[in-house]
């Protein structure tokens, strides 16, 4: 294909559902590959880069308005080499060009529309453009003609923008080093952040509202550390309002990506694997302390949704499922946002009959509706749990509506298996499975982990994306970081050494191919990555935790589990590689801060059991309802030798009975042979 002039849409052979949605556009789309870049350079045409994802509502809007429009497509084809990218398949590309857009002073988002030189260098861009001038934005045809004119007649302007953006992008990867960050400093930053919370509706700021699970974890840790009620209240208020709001699917389970209002009522209806993984984790933490039946119900329903609706498909010609998790469910069905999820009062009355009045009163259903004449089910009027009998009746009503909803045309499904998002869900599912005594959840997590190992690691190196038998794209830092954390979570839950061994192997790969030996920190892409104009590096959280922040916690766990001091040294290097940025803006650095606290405050619970027995279960059962964000669990057999550098080296059974050792700062307690003693040591109470 290389060297041949291509004039047709080339997306039909792609695997991404998002790219396949555009295979019949009159636009001559290319995937991002060597052939497309070579075409642009040979024809000296600028590149029009369009980045989106399958569940994105405004991506669909721009596609229908512009990319399916023959006249607009003709303009695109005449003046540009048009490249379509799935941001979930290529987060490395998306990160670079979203940063370029931010440097132009524009808000990022999707669809991302960037104009590049034939070498891939950005010089101008935006997000959604309408087909004619509206919303204060120029029409897309005017944009296309204007960019083409400037590129052809004023190359000095393009060169100036390319140089300016190129220099600025390079500086973004120059992390600001600093010193260690103390617990007092973390407290101070948490106190400043909690003031940004909505005191009525919960969550950070006003509309639009995102769950921000990394910040909720920062607040929860601050409460556990300081005892200040304001932090716990901020977390519980946000989780309660989200759990009872329209952002939650009260019939099918699972959370949408965000809401466009401050009350958590009106979602952007797409459901993402990564949001639900992180919210399962936070809800589990808080349930362990509060025993809230609402939070337990939301975790259980969300896991039910995951295992029912989000298992990826084996192949194009088979409905069989694989053991790994799919990426997203679309916001749209029948080309209408939210149509699958909303209700008319008359339909609720028809399905529920005499039970309808009580249901409508609780779930905010009326003739006028609460969103564009329709009803988004929610319980925001009164978030309290009702009596057991009332909740049972409501459950029966929800089941009937769920059965009716099955007959609707379902939202689009993106069943790509993404390594990083699966890592988030595997870890959350393993930890929740232990907390809620659900071994099937742990088994599901183990199976997904095994799928990644067996399917997504040709020649020992991870890949980022798999779909229906096709493996694509080199792994990013986030892939390795999240899956390594997942492996360590499975090791602590199951006690199987193979998970620890895999985690150490992946860390070696990251150190070899991703570590910045000059300035510290991990690059987002490997040293042998191709087709990128630069290697980005950041500790900023986005919708997902940053890979560098996650690696602080990963390295902390490895240090405590193995006793290998090199892991502690690398974790400390990683923290100080980015702490200079805290003075500039600490808001997006929550995962890094959480890791820094973990590094300083980890509590290691070493349970020594008898060989071939399960007598550690009594200890685990006693501890499962304790919220212990800094706990590291390690179950070893009495005949197992821990390394000499491990703080529990030489510790063993007591008179043939299992024992627990609580280790902090490389020093271990006396052995405890009763669960009550362990609870006393951890909480000060029995």
One DSSP character per residue, 151-194 reads: HHH-HHHHHHHHHHHHHHHHHHTS--------HHHHHHHHHHHH
pLDDT digits over 125-154, tens only?
A: 999 999 999 877 789 999 999 999 999 999
- pLDDT attached to residue 603: 94
Question: Counting Cβ atoms within 10 Å, is residue 201 exposed (0-12), middle (13-18) or buried (19+)?
Answer: buried
How many angstroms separate the CA atoms of 440 and 433, rounded? Answer: 7
pLDDT digits over 266-307, tens only?
A: 999 999 999 999 999 999 999 999 999 999 999 999 999 999
Instruction: Fill in the DSSP letter of residue 196.
Output: T
How many angstroms separate the CA atoms of 135 and 461, rounded? Answer: 46
Pick left, alpha or beta for residue 541 (phi over 0 → left; psi -120 to 50 → alpha; otherwise beta).
Answer: beta
- pLDDT attached to residue 538: 95
Q: Name residue, tokens 């490249």.
A: 83
Question: Counting Cβ atoms within 10 Å, is residue 3 exposed (0-12), middle (13-18) or buried (19+)?
Answer: exposed
The stretches in the chain having pLDDT less than 50 are 1-6, 686
């Amino acid at each position: 294909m290389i060297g041949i002039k291509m004039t047709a849409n080339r997306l039909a052979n792609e695997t991404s559902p998002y790219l396949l949605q555009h295979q019949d556009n009159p636009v001559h789309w290319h995937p991002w590959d060597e052939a497309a870049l070579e075409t642009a350079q040979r024809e000296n045409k600028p590149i029009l880069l369009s980045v989106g994802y399958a569940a994105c509502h405004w991506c669909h809007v721009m596609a229908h308005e512009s990319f399916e429009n023959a006249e607009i497509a003709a303009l695109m084809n005449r003046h540009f080499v048009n490249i379509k990218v799935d941001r979930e398949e290529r987060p490395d590309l998306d990160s670079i060009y979203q940063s370029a857009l931010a440097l132009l002073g524009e808000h990022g988002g999707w669809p991302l529309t960037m104009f590049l030189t034939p070498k891939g260098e950005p010089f101008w861009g935006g997000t959604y453009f309408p087909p004619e001038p509206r919303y204060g934005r120029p029409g897309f045809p005017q944009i296309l003609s204007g960019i083409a004119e400037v590129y052809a007649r004023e190359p000095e302007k393009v060169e100036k923008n390319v140089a300016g953006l190129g220099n600025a992008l390079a500086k973004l990867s120059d992390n600001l080093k600093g010193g260690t960050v103390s617990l007092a400093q973390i407290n101070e930053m948490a106190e400043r952040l909690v003031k940004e919370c909505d005191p009525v509706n919960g969550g950070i700021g006003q509309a639009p509202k995102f769950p921000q699970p990394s910040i909720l974890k920062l607040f929860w840790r601050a409460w556990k550390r300081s005892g200040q009620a304001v932090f716990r209240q901020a977390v519980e208020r946000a989780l309660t309002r989200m759990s009872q709001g329209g952002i939650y699917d009260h019939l099918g389970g699972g959370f949408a990506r965000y809401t466009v209002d401050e009350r958590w009522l009106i979602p952007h209806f797409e459901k993402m694997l990564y949001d639900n993984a992180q919210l399962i984790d936070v809800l589990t933490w808080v349930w362990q302390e509060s025993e809230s039946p609402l939070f337990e119900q939301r975790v259980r329903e969300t896991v039910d949704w995951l295992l029912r609706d989000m298992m990826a498909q084996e192949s194009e010609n088979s409905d069989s499922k694989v053991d790994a998790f799919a990426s997203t469910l679309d916001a749209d069905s029948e080309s209408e946002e939210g149509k699958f999820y909303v209700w008319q009062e008359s339909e609720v009355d028809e399905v529920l009959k005499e039970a309808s009045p009580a249901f409508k009163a609780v779930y905010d259903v009326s003739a006028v509706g609460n969103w564009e004449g329709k009803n988004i089910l929610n319980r925001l009027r009164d978030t309290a749990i009702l009596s057991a009998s009332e909740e049972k009746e409501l459950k029966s009503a929800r089941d009937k509506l769920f059965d009716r909803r099955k007959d609707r045309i379902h939202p689009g499904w993106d069943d790509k298996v993404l390594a990083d998002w699966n890592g988030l869900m595997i870890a959350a599912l393993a930890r929740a499975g232990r907390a809620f005594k659900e071994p099937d959840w742990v088994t599901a997590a183990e199976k997904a982990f095994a799928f990644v190992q067996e399917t997504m690691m040709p020649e020992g190196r991870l890949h980022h994306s798999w779909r229906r038998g096709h493996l694509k794209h080199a792994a990013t830092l986030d892939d390795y970081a999240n899956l390594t954390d997942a492996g360590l979570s499975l090791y602590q839950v199951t006690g199987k050494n193979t998970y620890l061994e895999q985690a150490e192997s992946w860390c070696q790969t990251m150190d070899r191919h991703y570590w910045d030996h000059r300035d510290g920190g991990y690059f987002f892409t490997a040293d042998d990555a191709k087709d990128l104009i630069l290697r980005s590096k950041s500790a900023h959280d986005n919708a997902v935790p940053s890979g560098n922040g996650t690696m602080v916690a990963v390295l902390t766990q490895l240090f405590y589990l193995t006793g290998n001091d090199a892991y502690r040294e690398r974790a400390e290097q990683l923290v100080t590689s980015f702490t200079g940025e805290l003075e500039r803006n600490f808001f997006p650095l929550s995962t890094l801060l959480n890791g820094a606290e973990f590094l300083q405050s980890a509590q290691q619970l070493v349970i020594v059991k008898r060989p071939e027995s399960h007598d550690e279960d009594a200890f685990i059962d006693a501890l499962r309802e304790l919220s212990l964000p800094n706990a590291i669990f390690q179950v070893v057999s009495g005949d197992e030798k821990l390394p000499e550098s491990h703080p529990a080296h030489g510790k063993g059974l007591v008179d043939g009975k299992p024992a627990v050792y609580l280790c902090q700062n490389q020093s271990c307690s006396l052995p405890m042979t009763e669960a009550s003693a362990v609870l006393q040591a951890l909480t000060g109470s029995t």
